[in-house]
Amino acid sequence: MRLDKFVLRSTALTKAQVITAIEAGQVCVNHGVIKDVKHQVHENNLIQLNHQTLTPRPFRYLLLHKSADKICSNVDGHYPSLFNDIDIDNKDELHIVGRLDADTTGLVLITDDGRWSFNITRPEMSCAKLYRVSLAKPLSTQAIKQLEQGILLDGETKPTLPAKITTVNERQVLLSITEGRYHQVKRMFFAVGNKVTQLHREQIGEIKLNTASDQWRYLTEAEVNSFNS
């Protein structure tokens, strides 16, 4: 982890104050002054600020039920950030694991543990994401076959990995995919001549959405560990 991140996670200082303290020579790693904010440190290094030993706060893992017209960003933009719905300290240390579009609803994972989120997002993990997809038109058997086999999206050279589709009714399906390409679900259905009218994420890996809209909770230990393989 970078030295500035470590100090940020161990104190009540702001990012700017952390940088100032490191550059002023107030931070020691294993008794040597380090002024490089990017210096890599390990949790078992001795890290001190003004001779006080620092201990980082434990990582945090949250699940939020995102509503429409909220954005997956740490700051407000065209719509408010979903972080407005989370009332905890040091929110700027958290990041979103796998963003949803502003009009997409459902399960969002949030953490300050970069290694954990990398485990979820890297393609080799084949972590399944389950979406409930509402469509403008009935989906043909041929289109289901194409999506299940993998389809070439506009502007790309590699087809999508095989998807699993369960039909709910004529215009609604459950779609399970293991990738997270840009606007992937909407582009997949566009590629077979349809249009997504509503998109809702219900599950990531073993973790199922079970809070009301705009509500959040901490993950259980078992849920956190389900991605630590």
The residues that are catalytic are 101
Site for ligand URA in 100-119 (CB under 6 A): 100-101, 104
Can you list the positions of beta strands (E) in the chain? Answer: 27-29, 32-33, 47-49, 52-53, 61-66, 95-97, 105-111, 129-135, 164-169, 172-177, 196-204, 207-208, 216-218
Q: Is 95 in the site for ligand URA (CB under 6 A)?
A: no
Structure tokens at 148: 């299940």
Q: Which single residue is written with the structure tokens 């998109």?
A: 199
174 CB-contact burial (10 Å; exposed 0-12 / middle 13-18 / buried 19+) = middle
Which one among 2, 15, 164, 186 touches ligand URA, defined by CB under 6 A? 186
CB of 18 to ligand URA, least distance (A): 33
Q: Is 158 in the site for ligand URA (CB under 6 A)?
A: no
Which one among 8, 199, 209, 219 touches ligand URA, defined by CB under 6 A? 199
Stretch that binds ligand URA, among 25-33, 51-59, 76-84, 178-186 (CB under 6 A): 178-186
Closer residue to ligand URA, CB minimum distance, 64 or 199: 199
Pairing of the two strands 105-111 and 196-204: parallel
Cα(131)–Cα(163) distance, rounded to whole angstroms? Answer: 11
Q: Is 184 in the site for ligand URA (CB under 6 A)?
A: yes
Look up residue 26 and give its amino acid: Q
Closer residue to ligand URA, CB minimum distance, 104 or 119: 104
Q: Is 120 in the site for ligand URA (CB under 6 A)?
A: no
CB of 56 to ligand URA, least distance (A): 32
Which one among 29, 130, 185, 204 touches ligand URA, defined by CB under 6 A? 185
CB of 187 to ligand URA, least distance (A): 6
Region for 69 from its dihedrals, namely left if φ exceeds 0, alpha if ψ lies in -120 to 50, beta otherwise:
left
The binding site for ligand URA (CB under 6 A) comprises 100-101, 104, 183-186, 199
